[in-house]
Amino acid sequence: MFVGIFILLGAFLSLVAAFGLIRLPDVYTRNHAASKSATLGVMLTLLGTLIYFYFIENHFNSRLLLGIAFIFMTSPVAGHLISRAAYNSGVKLWGKSVVDDLGRDRKKMNHRQS
Amino acid sequence: MAFQILLNFFLAFVWMFLKSSYTPASFFVGYFFGLLIIYVFRRFFDSRFYLVRVNAVAVLFLLFIKELFLANWSVLKLVLRPKLNIKPGIFALPTELKKDWEITVLANLITLTPGTLVVDVSFDNKTLYIHAMDIEDINEAVDSIKNSFEKAIMEVSR
């Protein structure tokens, strides 16, 4: 019962992440969808697998637990690094973006140096 | 804090030696009595009683999980809505946290909160640059959330 809920929810969230990757307009907003929905989707799927093997096969697989912990720790960092690399290599924000404090502060720093 | 935990383990071993029974059960009994002893003698340590900090870590962890679910809910609503009316943007957030690990935890928390994603940390570790999905209604609400996160992290490191 719980297994089904977890697995289906995880699959659904991964699907939403994929939709987000297609629909959203620029790198940064896509990164939102990828780094959040995909994380929770994979975590829920792994949790469902863990519960299935524990309650139905009577086998506690600690590697799944470690996998959940590792994904939980690493995927926000990956999202951060990707968006930072995109910004540093000059990928433009979406046209309708409103503010860009980072660009403003970078410009200020460059003025002071030159 | 690490010293108190180590002392607690040491007291547990002393208890095992006194009883001369080397089972996990007697270890846990000894650990419990050691905990009481450390609680009684808490004013002789220069840091706080360590269970307080363990509790703060647990609170921080639950906050992580809660924010992860809220963030997914908001992304889900945004992606599945037929019309895209979002106003993304990058805003600067000054932070009071000093140590590197605190800033890392804060950045991870922010990345997992609804509608925000850390793009850069300034060189002097005083400002976080955050990409927000919907800058208008989020800006102030997010600031209050950040304050609660910063407080939770400070509670751990104090």
**Interchain pair B90, A31: CB under 8 A:** no
Give the pLDDT score at B133: 77
Which of A40, A72, A94 is opposite residue B72, by nearest beta carbon?
Answer: A40
Residue in A with minimal Cα distance to B127: A102
Say how far apart CA B127 and CA A105 lie, in whole Å.
10
8 Å CB contact between B4 and B45: yes
- pLDDT tens-digit series, residues B37-85: 999 988 888 888 888 888 888 988 888 888 888 888 888 887 777 766 7
Say how far apart CA B36 and CA B4 lie, in whole Å.
12
Residue in A with minimal Cα distance to B77: A16
Say how far apart CA B91 and CA A103 lie, in whole Å.
10
Best B74, B119, B121 residue to mutate vs chain A (most A CBs within 10 Å): B119
Give the pLDDT score at B146: 73
**Interchain pair B112, A36: CB under 8 A:** yes
Query: Quick check: A83 pLDDT over 60?
Result: yes
Sequence-distant (6+) residues with CB within 8 A of B66 are none
Q: Name the more confident of B107 and A2.
A: B107
**Interchain pair B90, A100: CB under 8 A:** yes
- List the structure tokens of B42: 């808490």
Residue in A with minimal Cα distance to B116: A32
Please state the ipTM of this predicted complex.
0.75
8 Å CB contact between B130 and B95: no
Give the pLDDT score at A66: 93
Give the pLDDT score at A101: 63
Single-letter residue type at B34: G
**A108–B contact, CB cutoff 8 A:** no
Q: pLDDT > 90: what percent of chain B?
A: 17
Query: Quick check: A97 pLDDT over 60?
Result: no
Residue A28 has phi, psi (to 5 degrees) of -70, -45
**Interchain pair A40, B68: CB under 8 A:** yes
Tell me the average pLDDT across A96-104. Answer: 62
- pLDDT tens-digit series, residues A9-61: 889 888 888 888 888 778 888 888 888 888 888 989 999 999 888 888 888 88
Which of helix, strand or coil describes residue A24? Answer: coil
Sequence-distant (6+) residues with CB within 8 A of B20 are none
Mean pLDDT estimate for chain B: 83
- pLDDT tens-digit series, residues B7-21: 999 999 999 999 888
- List the structure tokens of A35: 């780094």
Nearest in space to A104 (alpha carbons), one of B11, B75, B145, B89: B89
Cα dist from B35 to A8, B23, B41, whole Å: 44, 18, 10
CB pairs under 8 A between A and B: 109
Q: pLDDT > 70: what percent of chain A?
A: 80
Neighbours of A85 (CB within 10 A): 11
Give all domains of chain B, ordered by start, each with its CATH number: 2-44 (no CATH), 56-157 (3.30.310)
Residue in B with minimal Cα distance to A26: B88
Say how far apart CA B121 and CA A81 lie, in whole Å.
11
8 Å CB contact between B129 and B92: yes
Give the pLDDT score at B11: 93
Sequence-distant (6+) residues with CB within 8 A of B17 are none
Sequence-distant (6+) residues with CB within 8 A of A23 are B79, B84
Residue A76 has phi, psi (to 5 degrees) of -65, -35
**Interchain pair A76, B69: CB under 8 A:** no
- List the structure tokens of B145: 């959330």
8 Å CB contact between A47 and A6: yes
